[in-house]
Amino acid sequence: PAKLLNIMASGRPVVACMNLKGDAPKIIKAAKCGYCVEAENAEKLSEAILKLYNNTLLRDEFGKNGREYAVRHFSRKICIEKYEKLFLKACMMAKNKK
């Protein structure tokens, strides 16, 4: 969900309209950074947009939450550390199979 991460990193609140079974809705919920509504549900989408349009504090809170979550979980440093752990684990597993 690269587009989602870019929005979060920029500190903007998220309004997403998609299949609710994917990773993006889970991230949005965990980050408390916006709303995710089922694809093709125009009524729920308009409700989410209006909630944010009419509530500056909520927009700011969602934006701040998204930015903090993105930095904590998806910054370059964090991603490098995660890949390093993954590669080390793979090497250890391969070594143990010999």
- Domain 2-73 superfamily per CATH: Glycogen Phosphorylase B; (3.40.50.2000)
Residue pLDDT, tens place only, 29-78: 999 999 999 999 999 999 999 999 999 999 999 999 999 999 999 888 98
pLDDT at 94: 86
How far apart (Å, rounded) are the C-alpha atoms in residues 49 and 69? 21
Mean pLDDT of 92-98: 84
Q: Residue 98: pLDDT above 80?
A: no
Question: Which of 5, 8, 2 is closest to 66 using CA atoms?
Answer: 8
Residue pLDDT, tens place only, 67-80: 999 999 988 898 89
How far apart (Å, rounded) are the C-alpha atoms in residues 15 and 71? 19
Which residues, at least 6 apart from 27, have a Cβ–Cβ distance to it below 8 Å? Answer: 1, 4, 8, 69
Boundaries of every domain in the chain:
2-73
* Residues 50 and 43 sit within 8 Å (Cβ to Cβ): no
